[in-house]
Amino acid sequence: MDEIKEKIAAHHLLISRVRKEIGKALVGQQNLVDGLLTGLLSGGHVLIEGVPGLAKTSAVMALASTVQADFKRIQFTPDLLPADLVGTEIYRPKMGDFITRKGPLFNNIILADEINRAPSKVQSALLEAMQEKQVTIGDTTYPLPDPFLVLATQNPIEQEGTYTLPEAQVDRFMLKILIDYPDRSQELEILKKTGFAHHESIEPVVTPVELKEMADLIREIYVDDKLKEYIVDLVFATRNPSKYGMDIGGHVAFGASPRATLFLAQAARVSAFLQGRAYVTPQDIKNTAPDVLRHRIILSFEAEAEEITSDDIIHILFDSVAVP
């Protein structure tokens, strides 16, 4: 344990530098930064939802700039085709053969901007890439680079010309982060920084090798057996709420999948790492559970009619499931 603590302390300085560089382009939004770092350090994809103008794209680009890795931004539009993502085979008449032109998915960090603007066949093209870390072009399957991370944004208020993400694809995202407007002091700082000061360039501070070292270290962070049971109980309570004394009146149509259990344990370990600890606490689980569970709890029509959100269900979960 002492050896792990020393390694965490050394790498924690590197994370502090990453936060400092991101702070050059982003004011506040601590939950968003923590969520992006969680995805980066665990290799989990992140879906960011918020109204326009909240620096969703800027935050992702700032994070990508701190990593010495290949980055590609893809603007999703209704006329996008699957080949625009994965690539295609091109026929060469003079040579009489085909060559493969790889698409933008063959980069380490992908920003899928306004992902819900592309039709379902394009969104489905991401499924194999996000889950299997590979894509198929023609008859050949190509592995994607390591690390491979999809950071997607979507706008919740403008529904014209958008396509709802299928549940199968939403479940591929480790986290769904909701962001809101900054407070008055933060907005004043944004004004001063972007409107009356020179833009500071963001320096890369982390290499893919260092990312892998941190990911390996995070897997060694201690999780007590009682906390493992707590994680399983939280997920099981979304499927069988009555067994945990939850009176939610049939508001949940489908609970979280086993993937939620795995992701919640991963996210809790990253939360401990970001705070410089070699062990997970119940608070780490509570801090990360909303982002892991909110897009995996499928609400019933009754819940939607009563304007009950998945976050409301998660609050009831915390009150009903005993903390070890």
Domains, in order of start, for the chain: 2-193+205-212 (3.40.50.300), 221-320 (1.10.8.80)
What integer pLDDT is reported at residue 283 of this predicted model?
A: 94
Distance CA 103, CA 112 (A): 13
The tokens describing 207, both together, are 């290499």
Mean pLDDT highest for which of 58-62, 138-142, 240-244, 286-290?
286-290
Q: Which residues are CB-neighbours of 60 under 8 A, at least 6 positions away?
A: 36, 48, 109, 111, 151, 153
What is the pLDDT of the chain when averaged over all its residues? Answer: 84
pLDDT at 260: 92
Cα 197 to Cα 158: distance, rounded to the nearest angstrom: 32
Q: What is the pLDDT of residues 266-290, one digit of tens each?
A: 999 999 999 888 899 999 999 999 9
Q: What is the mean pLDDT of residues 226-235?
A: 94
CB distance 103 to 86 below 8 Å: yes
pLDDT at 161: 57
Reported as type and span, the H/E element at residue 75 is strand 71-75
Whole-number pLDDT of residue 273: 92
CA 138/CA 88 separation, integer angstroms: 7
| Helix pair 310-320, 282-293: axis angle to 10 deg | 150
Tell me: pLDDT of 249 over 60: yes
For residue 197, pLDDT beyond 60:
no
Q: Do 77 and 118 meet the contact criterion of CB atoms below 8 Å apart?
A: yes
**48 contacts 56 by C-beta, under 8 angstroms:** yes
* Residue-level pLDDT at 18: 86
Q: How many other β-carbons are positioned within 10 Å of the β-carbon of residue 222?
A: 13
Note the pLDDT of residue 138. Answer: 78
Residue 159, pLDDT score: 60
Summarize pLDDT for 156-181 with one digit per residue, the tens: 766 665 667 777 778 889 999 988 88
Number of Cβ atoms within 10 Å of the Cβ of 88: 16
pLDDT digits (tens, 9 = 90+) for 6-27: 788 888 888 888 888 887 777 7
| Closest among 126, 154, 129, 156 to 141, alpha carbons compared | 129
pLDDT digits (tens, 9 = 90+) for 126-158: 877 888 888 888 788 889 888 888 888 887 766
pLDDT digits 0-9 by tens, 94-132: 777 778 888 888 988 888 888 888 887 888 778 778 888
pTM value?
0.86
